[in-house]
Amino acid sequence: MVKLWRCEICGDPYIGECPPANCPFCGAKAKYIKESKNAEVNFDVELNEKDKKNAEYALKVEISNAAFYFCAAKKTDGPEGKLLFKALGKVEAEHASVWRKILKLDSVPEGNDQCHVENKENLEDSHARETRAIEFYSKAASESENPRVKQIFQAFVEVETDHLHLSEERLK
């Protein structure tokens, strides 16, 4: 039977017989995907000064990474790389959207990060970007006293770790 599912991280709905292994929008693990009527999604959270600063920085990271990945999807010299970077760009853009909602902004500013033509160089850049994101998100999660903000940072650590593994596999 087809059901309506909802990701508790990004809030986006998904229609299917069962929940996906990862949110098709933000990449969150299946544990965050619930039947819509049971999903708890809240972006109206009070941010203390540290969480606000970390969320603002996270927004910049995601805008930067999305712009880089969309650039790489257009320019990279490998067909699989084009697909990979397009998919990663969409996920990073969704992450930026989550932070936009948390920060109560009307829109997400556009990024203008550059990329390379060589697929290997883009994969190396991707690896560095994902490593930095994981380190920052882990630190931000440990610093947060807000359960919702902590949950988002922790979920994004998992997603970015998956992205890191994608680049590592391709760099071998």
Provide the CATH number for the domain formed by 49-171 in this structure: 1.20.1260.10
Which class does domain 3-38 fall in? mainly beta
Structural element, H or E, at residue 31? none
pLDDT in tens, 5-25: 999 999 999 999 999 999 999
According to DSSP, the β-strands at 3-7 and 13-16 are antiparallel
* pTM strictly above 0.85: yes
Spell out the domain ranges in the chain. 3-38, 49-171
3-38 against 49-171: fold identical: no
Q: What is the mean pLDDT of the chain?
A: 97
pLDDT in tens, 63-93: 999 999 999 999 999 999 999 999 999 999 9
List for the chain the helix, strand, coil content (%; round to 5): 60, 10, 30
- pLDDT value of position 59: 98
pLDDT in tens, 98-129: 999 999 999 999 999 999 999 999 999 999 99
- Cβ atoms of residues 92 and 113 within 8 Å: no
Core vs surface per residue 24-50: b (16+ CB within 10 A) or e? bbbbbbeebbbeeeebebeeeeebeee
